[in-house]
Amino acid sequence: MTSKTGSTIMHIGELAERTGLSLRTIRHYDDVGLLPATARTDGGFRVYSEDDFERLMVIKQMKPLGFSLEEMADILTILGNGQGQGTAAGNAEKLTDYLQKAVDQRAKMARNLAQADEFITRISGL
């Protein structure tokens, strides 16, 4: 489906299928303001753009790293327009902090995965 401006738009079901997320999750992200629908049809159905798809993919990447909804919103704002609530230097510092949090969380996840692999190896030999 294309909009009057020629950009691709999709209903929530297509967005869910493309991202692997549930309709409920996407609606929740809309309700909390992380992913407001681009528009609504005359019947009130949410419609989304390719930009919304890209934004949702970033949200999906942040979720397992333990970012709060507020942190996700802050990151998306800074990434989306280079601004956010503070100065450019302040936003760069925030992104550095968020990056460190992501790196630390990924390392923790890798340790947990290694422990799971060790357990699987241990019990598969029994």
| Separation between Cα atoms, residue 5 and residue 107, nearest integer Å | 43
Average pLDDT over residues 72-77: 94
Tokens of 44: 């009130």
Q: Would you give the DSSP letter of residue 84? A: S
Task: Give the confidence band of 3 by pLDDT, cuts at 50, 70, 90.
Answer: very low
Average pLDDT over residues 80-89: 67
Q: Across all residues in the chain, what is the average pLDDT? A: 90
| Separation between Cα atoms, residue 71 and residue 94, nearest integer Å | 10
What is the CATH topology of the domain spanning 1-65?
A: Multidrug-efflux Transporter Regulator; Chain: A; Domain 2 (1.10.1660)
Q: What proportion of the chain, given as a percentage, has pLDDT over 70?
A: 90
Task: Give the confidence band of 85 by pLDDT, cuts at 50, 70, 90.
Answer: low
> What is the pLDDT at residue 82?
53
